[in-house]
Amino acid sequence: MKLFGLKNCDTCRKAMKQLPKIDFVDVRNDGVPVEVLQRALGQFGDSLLNIRSTTWRTLTAEERAQPQIELLQTHPTLMKRPLIERDGKLYLSWSKETQSALGVS
C-alpha cells in the first residue's frame, strides 16, 4: 500500500498513523508516477485538484489553463491528499468512506 502526500500534511499524518505497513511517497520531493496520475485523473477527475490551496492561488490564469496532468506534474502539491493506492485501487482523501474501504475504524 502506498500513500502519496506531504510529510507536513496533518491529514496525511493521521492516515499514516492508522495504516500499518504503508509506503509513504512525498509528492513534493518524489512526485507521483505519471501512470498513477493518469489513473487518478480518470477516476477522480477535477476533484483531484485542490483549487483551494495556496499553490493554486499563486498560479496565473495561463498556468491554470494547462492540462491537469501537466499542472500536477509541475506542481504536485496541487493534488488533494492523501492519494492511497492499494492492490491497484485508488482512494482519495482520508474520509470515513476511505477508512472503511481500507478496514480502518
Q: Enumerate the active-site residues.
A: 9
Cα separation values, 5 from 14, 26, 66, Å: 11, 5, 22
DSSP state letter for 47: G
Say which residues have a Cβ less than 8 Å from residue 6's Cβ, sequence separation at least 6.
12, 26, 27, 28, 77, 81
Residue 2's CB: how many other CB atoms inside 10 A?
Answer: 17
